[in-house]
Amino acid sequence: MIGGCLDSEFSLWSNGLFEDFKLGIYVPVISEIVVAEIAQAPDTVIKKYSELLDYNLIILELSNEVIDLANSYLAKKILSENFLDDARHIAFASVYEVDLLVSWNFKHIVHYDKIRMFNSVNLENGYKPINIYSPREVTKHGS
């Protein structure tokens, strides 16, 4: 989502979501995995990420629960092991009961069939269903 702020196709809604964070409409929540990904990103992405630090950013820590739930997604073949980090993004949000997971990843995350399967596994493992949307569907800004 952060990289979307710098992409002409997604910038209107990604930057709109940043404006929502700035106004306190939403609280940004990311995982340690995102922090590690950002550390290796281009400087422009790192600079955009640093804005989140001013918006009461919450960083979630990797736990055994997150690892186990992500592995459950892989065991059900919702995602392959090549996309372990994507499985962990979903697991972080599920375990920590984040209200919304927002992503531009339409292949592995923001995909109707996959969302249904993630939620099926969540219910089997005692977690609530998760809401997954693109920034376009969430932000109060942009049109």
Residue 3: the pLDDT is 87
The sign one gets for the Cα dihedral 39, 42, 46, 48 is negative
Domains in the chain, please, with CATH? 3-138 (3.40.50)
Which residues face 60 on adjacent strands?
31
Residue 11: the pLDDT is 93
| Long-range contacts (CB closer than 8 Å, 24 or more residues apart) made by 46-53 | 48/2, 48/5, 48/6, 48/18, 49/2, 51/18, 52/2, 52/18, 52/21, 52/28
Residue 131: the pLDDT is 97
Q: What is the mean pLDDT of each run of 10 residues along the chain (143 residues)?
A: 89 94 95 94 93 93 98 98 96 97 95 97 98 95 71
Model pTM score: 0.92
Single-letter amino acid, residue 86: D
